[in-house]
């Protein structure tokens, strides 16, 4: 097998949610990139080997996954290889591709892996008696809703339920599909449904949201610190959360921070701005690292920020990373609130370049936003092409990806430590 430079690749990461819509795992997907940034889609063994190599030796499992589980696809050759036994079995789920032939050798290898403590999943699965000796060994069965329409899923569930497996619905594209599968007692869900709430489910911009917008506007126009302090004090919830943040391990104050003014000074304006931006996506009943919309927002904004630092033009502009981060955050607000991008632009003190990016995906920040969106949709071939056009190397893009994943995990940890 050819050994590839780990810097010439992109890694996709798609959330896997529980039935109460909290992130519990990610599937890791991989594309190697040849010189010239054209995608090199090779066999599954090559791809998986590089995921394993990059995850363990290059980035560290904690940077890609945080405390969550990670799913990695395996073909026959990789399944039989001793390399997979290097993976942390408490955190990695081994996905058996649907192309695997069920025979005595496969059954024996799966039994061996189970005895070693690994978790096994069947990918893109359709029920068949051929798998009767394999079902008792696997922990998770993934049902592809594009491959198996809902009207056929109920029958499949009935056939699989006698076995001690959890069911995962993948390629869930709508809330209707999610709810239908949840009613059939699926345990796990994967797809874009969480990022596409219906109009009826969007939140109104209530008093707390309006205050966040006001604070963001004040920070953008560089308002007086006392004005910002008074605005935060007008909300007991925001005041409390800012004090929690200031007293968290991340800032390690020598003495307890007991007032908003000191908390603002300790945390700093830039970090307060980021805290406010992410607060739009917070849910009171869901920790940051379990909230799919907050995860999406933090990773998108962090990825764009990191790319801006490495962009041939933007890297010379000191405010470019903050602008890129802002575009990433604001681009998602209309997904969860009953507010349009046009209204956001009107209510905030945004520069022309940020407005152009949000309204029409135009300008350099619009290009970065397009890259981030294609990355979330796992169109990694397109991402490679767009990055090449912008003059960003695959090595820089990969570092940007991993930094955004790690930053999101760190941000979530900071919030949880502050709430202990």
What is the predicted pLDDT for the residue at 14?
A: 92
Q: For the segment 69-108, what is each residue's pLDDT rounded down to a tens digit?
A: 999 988 888 889 888 888 889 999 999 998 899 999 999 9
Q: Domain limits of the chain?
A: 9-196, 207-419
Say how far apart CA 355 and CA 367 lie, in whole Å.
13
Q: Residue 139 — very low, low, confident or very high, per pLDDT cuts 50/70/90?
A: very high
Say how far apart CA 225 and CA 221 lie, in whole Å.
12
What is the predicted pLDDT for the residue at 45?
A: 63
E strand intervals along 36-158: 39-40, 69-74, 92-96, 119-122, 140-144
Mean pLDDT of the 310-328 span:
94
pLDDT at 55 over 50: yes
pLDDT at 415 over 70: no
φ, ψ (nearest 5 deg) of residue 132 = -60, -30
What is the predicted pLDDT for the residue at 38?
A: 47
CATH number of 207-419: 1.10.3210
Q: For the segment 234-247, what is each residue's pLDDT rounded down to a tens digit?
A: 988 889 888 988 88
Q: Residue 202 — very low, low, confident or very high, per pLDDT cuts 50/70/90?
A: low
Mean pLDDT of the 346-365 span:
92
Share of the chain above pLDDT 70, in %: 84
pLDDT at 41 over 80: no
What is the predicted pLDDT for the residue at 286?
A: 59
Q: For the segment 217-235, what is each residue's pLDDT rounded down to a tens digit?
A: 898 888 999 999 999 999 8
Q: Residue 335 — very low, low, confident or very high, per pLDDT cuts 50/70/90?
A: confident
Say how far apart CA 313 and CA 315 lie, in whole Å.
6
Q: How far apart are the first and last CA of the chain?
A: 48
Per DSSP bridges, beta strands 23-33 and 119-122 are: unpaired
* DSSP single-letter state for residue 315: G
φ, ψ (nearest 5 deg) of residue 154 = -60, -45
Number of H helices, E strands in the chain: 18, 9
Average pLDDT over the chain reads 85
Mean pLDDT of the 56-62 span:
73
pLDDT at 416 over 60: no
What is the predicted pLDDT for the residue at 389?
A: 94
Q: For the segment 357-409, what is each residue's pLDDT rounded down to a tens digit?
A: 999 999 999 999 999 999 998 888 899 899 999 999 988 998 899 888 887 66
What is the predicted pLDDT for the residue at 334?
A: 84
Q: Residue 320 — very low, low, confident or very high, per pLDDT cuts 50/70/90?
A: very high
HEC letters along 250-280: CCCCCCCCCCHHHHHHHHCHHHHHHHHHHHC
Higher pLDDT, 254 or 127: 127
pLDDT at 6 over 60: no
Token pair belonging to 390: 């912008």
Q: Which residue has the tokens 């940007």?
A: 400
Cβ-proximal residues to 115 (8 Å cutoff; 6+ apart), any chain: none
Per DSSP bridges, beta strands 39-40 and 140-144 are: unpaired
pLDDT at 59 over 80: no
What is the predicted pLDDT for the residue at 129?
A: 92
Say how far apart CA 290 and CA 17 lie, in whole Å.
9
E strand intervals along 3-68: 9-18, 23-33, 39-40
Residue 376: closest CA among 5, 11, 125, 12: 12
Residue 341: closest CA among 317, 369, 313: 369
Mean pLDDT of the 123-152 span:
93
Residue 166: closest CA among 124, 138, 146: 138
pLDDT at 169 over 80: yes
What CA–CA distances, in Å, run from 169 to 110, 160, 326, 346?
22, 13, 33, 40
pLDDT at 3 over 70: no
CATH architecture of 9-196: Alpha-Beta Barrel (3.20)
Residue 81: closest CA among 107, 49, 42: 49
* DSSP single-letter state for residue 21: S
Give me the sign of the Cα torsion angle 71, 74, 80, 82. Answer: negative
């Amino acid at each position: 097998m050819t050994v590839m430079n780990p810097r010439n690749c992109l890694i996709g990461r798609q959330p896997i949610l529980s039935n109460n819509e909290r992130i519990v795992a990610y599937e890791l997907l991989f594309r190697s990139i040849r010189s010239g940034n054209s995608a090199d889609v090779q066999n599954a063994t090559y791809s998986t080997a590089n995921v394993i190599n990059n995850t363990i030796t290059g980035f560290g499992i904690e940077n890609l996954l945080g405390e969550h589980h990670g799913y990695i696809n395996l073909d026959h050759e990789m399944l039989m290889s001793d390399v997979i036994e290097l993976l942390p079995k408490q955190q990695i789920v081994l996905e058996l591709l649907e192309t695997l032939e069920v025979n005595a050798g496969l059954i024996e290898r799966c039994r061996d892996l189970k005895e070693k403590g690994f978790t096994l999943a069947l990918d893109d699965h359709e029920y068949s008696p051929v798998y009767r000796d394999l079902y008792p060994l696997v922990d998770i069965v993934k049902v592809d809703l594009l491959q198996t329409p809902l009207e056929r899923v109920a029958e499949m569930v009935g056939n699989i339920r006698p076995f001690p497996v959890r069911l995962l619905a993948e390629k869930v594209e709508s809330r209707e599909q999610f709810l239908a599968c949840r009613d059939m007692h699926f345990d796990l869900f994967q797809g874009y449904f969480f990022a596409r709430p219906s109009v009826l489910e969007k939140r109104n911009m209530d008093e707390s949201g309006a205050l966040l917008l006001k604070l963001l506007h004040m920070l953008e126009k560089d308002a007086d610190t006392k004005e910002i302090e008074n605005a935060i004090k007008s909300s007991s919830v925001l005041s409390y959360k800012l004090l929690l943040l200031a007293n968290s391990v991340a800032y390690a104050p020598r003495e307890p921070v007991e007032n908003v003014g000191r908390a603002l000074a300790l945390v700093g304006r830039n970090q307060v701005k980021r805290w406010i931006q992410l607060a739009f996506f917070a849910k009171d009943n869901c920790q940051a690292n379990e909230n799919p919309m907050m995860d999406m927002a933090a990773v998108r904004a962090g990825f764009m920020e990191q790319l801006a630092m490495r962009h041939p033009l933007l890297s010379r502009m000191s405010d470019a990373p903050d602008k890129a981060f802002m575009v990433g955050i604001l681009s998602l607000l209309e997904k969860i609130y009953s507010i349009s991008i046009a209204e956001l632009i009107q209510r905030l003190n945004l520069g022309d370049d940020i407005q152009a990016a949000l309204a029409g995906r135009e300008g350099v920040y619009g290009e970065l936003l397009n890259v981030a969106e294609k990355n979330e949709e796992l169109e990694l071939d397109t991402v490679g092409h767009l990055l090449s056009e912008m003059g960003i190397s695959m090595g820089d893009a990969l570092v940007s990806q991993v930094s955004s994943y790690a930053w999101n995990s760190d941000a979530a940890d900071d919030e949880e430590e502050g709430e202990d």
